[in-house]
Amino acid sequence: MEEIGPIQEFIVEIDTPIGNQRFYRFDLNYINVKDLKSIIPVTFKYDLLITIPNTNSFVMLLSPEKKKLLEQYLKLIDKSGDVAYVKLKYIKAENLKKNLPPSISQDDIIETGDPSIVFVKGSPQKLDNFYKELAVLDQPVPQVRYDLLVIQFQEGETINWNQNLTDNVFTVSKITDHEEGAFLGSIGKLISLNFDVVSNFGYQFALQLNYDLTEDRAKILADTSLNGLSGEEIKFQNTTTVRFREYETDPNTGNLRQTGVVREIVSGLIINVKGWVSGHGMITMDVEATVSRLGTGASTDTTREPTTFEKVLKTHVRTPSGTPIAIGGLITEENGTTISKIPILADIPLLGYLFQTKKETLDRSEFVIYIVPHVEYLEREEVSLNNRMERLYNKFF
Residue 178 counted as domain residue: no
Looking at the fold, whether 88 and 64 belong to one and the same domain comes out as: no
Looking at the fold, whether 263 and 379 belong to one and the same domain comes out as: yes
Domain boundary among 94, 122, 137: 137
Q: Is the pLDDT of residue 371 over 90?
A: yes
The pairing of beta strand 356-376 with beta strand 143-154: antiparallel
What's the confidence (pLDDT) of residue 319?
93
pLDDT band at 144 (very low <50, low <70, confident <90, very high): very high
- Which of 69-83, 272-286, 371-385 has the least mean pLDDT? 371-385
What's the confidence (pLDDT) of residue 167?
36
DSSP-based three-state secondary structure for 264: strand
Looking at the fold, whether 391 and 254 belong to one and the same domain comes out as: yes
Looking at the fold, whether 119 and 96 belong to one and the same domain comes out as: yes
Residue 192 counted as domain residue: no
Residue 3, Cβ density class (10 Å: 0-12 exposed, 13-18 middle, ≥19 buried): exposed
Residue 187 counted as domain residue: no
Q: Is the pLDDT of residue 273 over 50?
A: yes
Phi, psi of 229 (to 5 degrees): -75, 155
Residue 209, Cβ density class (10 Å: 0-12 exposed, 13-18 middle, ≥19 buried): buried
Residue 183 counted as domain residue: no
Domain boundary among 25, 43, 77: 77
Looking at the fold, whether 102 and 217 belong to one and the same domain comes out as: no
**Where do the DSSP E strands lie in the chain?**
22-27, 49-51, 57-62, 83-87, 109-111, 117-121, 143-154, 218-229, 233-249, 256-277, 282-294, 308-320, 325-341, 356-376
Residue 157 counted as domain residue: yes
Instruction: List the CATH number of the domain containing 114.
Output: 3.30.1370
Residue 181 counted as domain residue: no
What's the confidence (pLDDT) of residue 271?
93
Cα radius of gyration (the chain): 34
Q: For all residues of the chain together, what is the average pLDDT?
A: 77
Looking at the fold, whether 235 and 268 belong to one and the same domain comes out as: yes
Looking at the fold, whether 54 and 127 belong to one and the same domain comes out as: no
Looking at the fold, whether 121 and 32 belong to one and the same domain comes out as: no
- Which of 67-81, 120-134, 176-190, 223-237 has the least mean pLDDT? 176-190
What's the confidence (pLDDT) of residue 304?
60
Which of 233, 195, 305, 219 is CA-nearest to residue 269?
219
Can you name the residues that pair with 285 across neighbouring β-strands? 275, 317
| 131-136, Cβ contacts within 8 angstroms, sequence gap of 24 or more | 133/101, 133/102, 133/103, 134/86, 134/96, 134/101, 136/101
Domain boundary among 77, 99, 116: 77
- The full DSSP string for 7-41 is HHHHHHHH-S-BTTBEEEEEE-SSS-GGGHHHHS-
What's the confidence (pLDDT) of residue 10?
66
Q: What is the span of the domain harbouring residue 102?
A: 82-137
Looking at the fold, whether 153 and 125 belong to one and the same domain comes out as: no
| Buried b / exposed e along 117-152 (16+ C-beta atoms within 10 A) | bbbbbbeeeebebbeeebeeebeeebbbbbbbbbbb
What's the confidence (pLDDT) of residue 2?
59
Residue 175 counted as domain residue: no
Looking at the fold, whether 201 and 55 belong to one and the same domain comes out as: no
What's the confidence (pLDDT) of residue 296?
60
Of residues 389 and 4, the one with the higher pLDDT is 4
Looking at the fold, whether 376 and 261 belong to one and the same domain comes out as: yes
Mean pLDDT of 265-283: 88
Among residues of the chain, what percentage have pLDDT more than 90? Answer: 16
Could you read off the pLDDT of 215-230 as tens digits, one per residue? 888 899 899 999 999 9
Of residues 170 and 234, the one with the higher pLDDT is 234
Tell me how many domains the chain contains.
3
Residue 110 counted as domain residue: yes
pLDDT band at 260 (very low <50, low <70, confident <90, very high): confident
What's the confidence (pLDDT) of residue 394?
60
Mean pLDDT of 282-297: 84
Can you name the residues that pair with 319 across neighbouring β-strands? 283
Could you read off the pLDDT of 156-214 as tens digits, one per residue? 433 343 333 333 333 333 434 444 455 556 777 888 888 999 889 888 888 889 988 88
CA 373 – CA 381 distance, rounded (Å): 17
Looking at the fold, whether 151 and 132 belong to one and the same domain comes out as: no
